[in-house]
Each structure stands twice: as structure tokens, then as C-alpha cells.
Structure 1
Amino acid sequence: MSNKAVANRYAVALFELGVSKGQANEYEQDLALVRDVFVQTPELLKVLETPGLSQEKKAQVIKQSFQGNVQETTLALLLTLVEKNRYTTMPELLSEYKRLNNELKGIAEATVYSAKPISDSEKEQVAVVFAPKVGKRSLEVTNVVQEQLVGGIKVRIGDRVYDGSVKGQLDRLEKGILAGK
């Protein structure tokens, strides 16, 4: 089974438990903390990848690193991932969990491509304009700079793309001219 499929199973199980306990947001925060710790201390991952280290020692490292900092359920999940050698699924697990929790809250993730960085107020304007178009209460907007767009923006929300960039307009104009010949 692929890492993504495994991560999705764990994410769904944790999410359903989080919803039933009213702690879905807390679990999401826990998973983000775990991701941050792994990013900031790559030595932790190296310890978990050490072939000669027993599962008990790896579990002890996880407990020392996270006990008291995350919910008991999150800690139990981490210990299960270590026990089953599935700790490498953490990035996919967090991503899927966040998607599920955002879906519950009526939030979608949007990527705004622009020729230059956009401000926080511009991100908010994009969220206000596009959230109703995709039937969501809110959008979490991320900006990606693509200088080849020349000007304007291109917005990707899920599998939908709204292209208001100068490059997109030129491409559509070119197709129209070529189709007219």
C-alpha cells in the first residue's frame, strides 16, 4: 500500500475520532507541531531511521519529544506510526487531515499565482471574492510568484483554475486568432 493511502487511512481515523471528541482542531494543531519539530530537528528522523535501534527505544524518543506537548491520542498515533514503521507518512497524513478538517469548517485552500508577491490584504480580497464561487465560507490563500504571468493573477482552488493573468489573456487571444483562420 502506498504511503499516501496509508496516510489517508490514519488521517481519516484520527479525524473521525477528533470530530467525535470535539477535538478536531486540536489534533490538527498537534500534527502541525509534529511536522514543525521534524523539520526543525532532522536528527529526530535520523534516529527513527536507525536500523539497529529497537522499537522500544524509538518509542521512548517519541515520548520524550512529544509527551505533554500534544494530545494523548496524537501521541498514541505517533507511537503506532513508529511501531509500524510508518512515520514517513507524516507529511501526507497532516495534509489529508488538514483537508478533512477544512472541509468540515467550510474552508478551501487556494493558490494565487502572480507576477509579483501580493499583500495580505490582497490575499483577503481574493478569499472574499472566490470563496462564494466555490461554495466555501472561507479560503486559505497561498501566493506563488510566477514572473512569466506578466500581470494579473491566476487562482487555483482544488481542480478549478481562474486565469486572469496577462499571459492567460494573451494565450486565449492567440487561440482565438488561430481558430479563426
Structure 2
Amino acid sequence: MLNILLAKKYAAAMFELAQEENKLAQSDKQLAQIGRLFDECVGLKAFMDNPQVAIQAKKELMKKILSDDFDQSVVNFMLLLVDKHRITLLTEIITSFHALSNEAQGIQLAYVRTAVALTNDQKAGLVKKLENVTEKHIQLRERIDPSLIGGIVIKIGDRLIDGSVVGQIKSIKKQLMANC
């Protein structure tokens, strides 16, 4: 619980800085890139999480990795995380930052599960309908789930829309059981 609160504080601080510098989208993209790097490179994560490795060695490695491709405020933020021994919270910090960034930019994530892949036209139509309902820009996160048999399940924020065949069968079953 304490780690989540700390992660949110660091994310909020970076969010405010990115907003002040008018680099919110850029910082969000760069932090996501760093997060993917840490996820893909197990050795890097182990090195940075190791308390026996000197902070200066961690900072030097971070500077080499981030070099010229990253905004200086993102580099400084990562070095601060190393200094304060908070690099272990990187995933939570990036997740919190991304949520703040999406909110500020009016972006809403929609998690979509379908039995088969949607065509580009279907995706565009779905995005348009969801944007009309939410009055926000929608980013789809798709997943194929053959167990749905057919239809679609959409999760936006705390809303769940189940239009799958399996969901309809469960609903009918529930109604039949209630009437018996």
C-alpha cells in the first residue's frame, strides 16, 4: 500500500513537470518506452533492483541507456528514482503517470475481447460509437478470446458491456433459474 502511494506521488510530480514543459505526450511515450525496456531486459531490472550495486554505477548505466533519445526531464526523473531507491517502483509509477496523462488528454482506454479479430472498419465504427458515448478519445486494447464463441465484451473504466454469446447464454440461464 505504501509503495502504491509513493508511486502515485512520483508519477504526479513527473506529470506536473511534463505539463509545465508542455511535453505530456512525449514524456508519456518515453516513460512507456523505458517501461518496455525494463520488462524485456531482465538483466537490466535485476541490476537496477540490486541493493549491492553502487548508486553511481546505476546512474551511469541509466545515462548511457537514455542518452540523446530522451528528454532531459525524463532522464533527470529516472536518475532521481535511482538516487531515492525508487527504481523498483518504476512499473507502478509509469502506470500512474499514464493514467494521469490519459485523463489530462481526454483519452479513455477500452479493453475489447472478441472471438475473432475485428476488421479495420469494425474497429473504426466501434471507436466512433464509444467516443460518442464517453465524449473522450478512445484507444482500443484488443484481445482475441475464442471462448466467447461470438460477440464482444467491452470494458471502459468501471463499465462492462457483455455482448458475447457466452454472456447471453449465462444471462438466459440466470433468468430461467430465477423463474423455477
Same fold (TM over 0.5): yes
1:98 alignment partner, SS class: helix
The equivalent of 2:104 in structure 1 is 104
Supply the distance in 2 between the matched residues of 1:122 and 1:95 (Cα, whole angstroms). Answer: 28
- 5+ long unaligned stretches in structure 2: none
Task: Answer yes or no: is the 8 Å Cα contact 2:112–2:140 preserved in 1.
Answer: yes
1:112 Cα deviation from its structure 2 partner: 0.6
Task: Answer yes or no: is the 8 Å Cα contact 2:49–2:87 preserved in 1.
Answer: no
Aligned residues: 180
Following superposition of structure 1 onto structure 2, how do residues 45-84 of structure 1 map, counting pairs within 5 Å?
A: 45-84=45-84
AA aligned opposite 2:119: S
Q: Deviations over 1:123-174 (max 9, x none)?
A: 22221111222232x2110112222211000100011011111111111111
Supply the distance in 1 between the matched residues of 2:122 and 2:166 (Cα, whole angstroms). Answer: 20
1:30 Cα deviation from its structure 2 partner: 1.4
Q: Deviations over 1:19-61 (max 9, x none)?
A: 1221111111210221232234332222223333211111111
Following superposition of structure 1 onto structure 2, how do residues 26-41 of structure 1 map, counting pairs within 5 Å?
A: 26-41=26-41
Q: Deviations over 1:54-73 (max 9, x none)?
A: 11111111111113221111
Following superposition of structure 1 onto structure 2, how do residues 5-154 of structure 1 map, counting pairs within 5 Å?
A: 5-136=5-136, 138-154=137-153
The more displaced of 160-169 and 1-10 is: 1-10
- Runs of 4+ in structure 1 deviating by more than 6 angstroms, as ranges, are none
The equivalent of 1:171 in structure 2 is 170
C-alpha distance 118-3 of structure 1, shift in aligned 2 (>3 A):
farther
C-alpha distance 52-133 of structure 1, shift in aligned 2 (>3 A):
same
Aligned-pair Cα RMSD in Å: 1.7
Q: State the identity as a percent.
A: 27
Supply the distance in 2 between the matched residues of 1:123 and 1:78 (Cα, whole angstroms). Answer: 36
The normalised TM-score by structure 1 is: 0.90
Q: Deviations over 1:70-120 (max 9, x none)?
A: 111111111111112211222222222121111112110011111122234
- 5+ long unaligned stretches in structure 1: none
The equivalent of 1:157 in structure 2 is 156
